[in-house]
Amino acid sequence: MVSCLHDHNQWGAGDQIGAANHLTPQSTLAALSMAKTGATLDLSHVIENGAPFMPPNQTPYVLTSGATARNSQKIRAAMGATNEVGANLERVGMTMHVGTHIDALGHFSIGEHLYGGHNIDDSMGDFGLIDLGIENIPPMITRGVCLDAATLDGGEHLNPGRAVTADDLKRCCEVQDVELHTGDAVLINTGWGRYFMTDNATYLEGEPGPDLGAARWLTEQGVVAIGADNMALEVLPGTNHPEVMMPVHQHCLVEAGVHIIENMVLADLARDKVSSFCFILLPVKFKGATGCPVRPVAIL
């Protein structure tokens, strides 16, 4: 069960960035020094019409052409332009939690309580979050660690409802000969990402992922973010107490101030047996948003 620790975070009441306080110029330089070959792995999916989403709270991603070069040429000609100048523009309708994205700390609550002693009444306005919005997340240039849990059960991927436990993660660390450090971004490969846009119905029917015990173990290590190759990071349907919804989100975002990254592409890291690397993620500063699409990369 989730306990209310939101008033006891180590950075004090009113803090806006949580575990990202661990990010320093020194940790940035250390992460950049990990890049040896300059090879880059893109850890994000293409966001496109038809991308999976979870109703009723989420809405589909829809991009339509708002203007075309042909039409704009006519408009500009009517305005007196002497060259055939045209431009293509579009309109996008979407939730910020589509495709590969990061959750802001204000995305989840425990009752009325948000991270850092903030509360729903004071921190949620008519135009989004007043506190804990995505614009508060600093650039993440840190050490990334990919823990490959996909083959724990002997197959190519774990199955829906399969909880990745703290002991599972410790085993991954031992097998991969990697230790977690304060400030790491830890990414969990479950193998489930193979169904993103190839079989969305299967992708959304449930998912393997960390349980609450695993999340607590990771936050105890001082990580700044936890990501996975699934829709909601945590195991679905939940285990032990299935009537408790999204406890990993509540713990990470509200209690620990640790950001969550979802719908990641981790198969290449697992295939190449890359356990640690320079990790870069730059959130887009949508004022008051509870999350935003991102394009995280691993530089090897």
Residue 99 Ramachandran class (φ > 0 left, ψ -120 to 50 alpha, else beta): left
- Read off the pLDDT of residues 58-97 as tens digits, 9 standing for 90 and up: 999 999 998 888 888 888 888 898 888 888 999 999 999 9
Q: Is the distance from CB of 278 to CB of 141 less than 8 angstroms?
A: yes
Q: Is the distance from CB of 136 to CB of 128 less than 8 angstroms?
A: no
Q: Which part of the chain is CATH 3.50.30.50?
A: 7-47+96-299
Return the CATH superfamily for domain 7-47+96-299: Putative cyclase (3.50.30.50)
- Read off the pLDDT of residues 216-238 as tens digits, 9 standing for 90 and up: 999 999 999 999 999 999 999 98
- Read off the pLDDT of residues 97-151 as tens digits, 9 standing for 90 and up: 999 999 999 999 999 999 999 999 999 999 999 999 999 999 999 999 999 999 9
User: Counting beta carbons within 10 angstroms of the beta carbon of residue 57, is it exposed (0 to 12), middle (13 to 18) or buried (19 or more)?
Assistant: exposed
Q: Find all residues with CB under 8 Å of 135, minimum gap 6, and list them.
A: 283, 285, 286, 287, 288, 289
Average pLDDT, the chain: 94
pLDDT of amino acid 13: 84
Label residue 7 by pLDDT band (50, 70, 90).
Answer: very low
- Read off the pLDDT of residues 148-179 as tens digits, 9 standing for 90 and up: 999 999 999 999 999 999 999 999 999 999 99
